[in-house]
Amino acid sequence: MLMHMTAIVDSRMTFEEATAGTRAPREIIDKLCLVDVRYRAFDGRLHQGQLIIHQEVKTDIVEIFGLIEQTVFPIFHVVPIVKYDWSDDLSMADNNTSAFNYRSVLSTDRLSNHAFGKAVDINPYLNPVIDEEGRIDPPGASYVPWRAGTLDDSHPVVREFLNRGWRWGGHFMPKKDYHHFDKPG
């Protein structure tokens, strides 16, 4: 059992600060909330970060991050993507775990589930996207399933998301998106 400990705060934004500059319409912003989450970082210490998510998935995210903390699954950091000027590429390259980002699915005009706060990317540098030709994004990343902070099909975090009706990008075909979880609908 983990004792209550003071966490190192990686992000302490207000909702207004965390959504500043987004191009999302008001009807989407009004359905979002900012949640504080705790996790063990790679320094072995307890940290607190923040995710912007859709209100409908708040319970899932809070409880899954409780599992992440309990299982001591390391996360680099969790900071709203506004810190990266809304750049998914910069956030992924920094191995930042994030959720809401009003953007399209790469190479399409279709809005991503991130645009609605119903998707989360966990440790994207350790859990990269690998396309059918073997190209990896973010550049320089690699997928080593047994490495700390990496997700695979048998991982308790993956299993918990799936049990709650989320999809895992590690099951996508032909491109794998190992850091991505989303809640359809």
Q: What is the pLDDT of residue 1?
A: 44
HEC string for 156-178: HHHHHHHHCCCEEHHHCCCCEEC
Q: Place 105 in a pLDDT band, splitting at 50, 70 and 90.
A: confident
Predicted structure pTM score: 0.95
Alpha helices (runs of H) in 46-165, residue ranges in sequence order: 58-70, 88-93, 156-163
Q: What is the pLDDT of residue 3?
A: 52
Average pLDDT over residues 53-61: 98
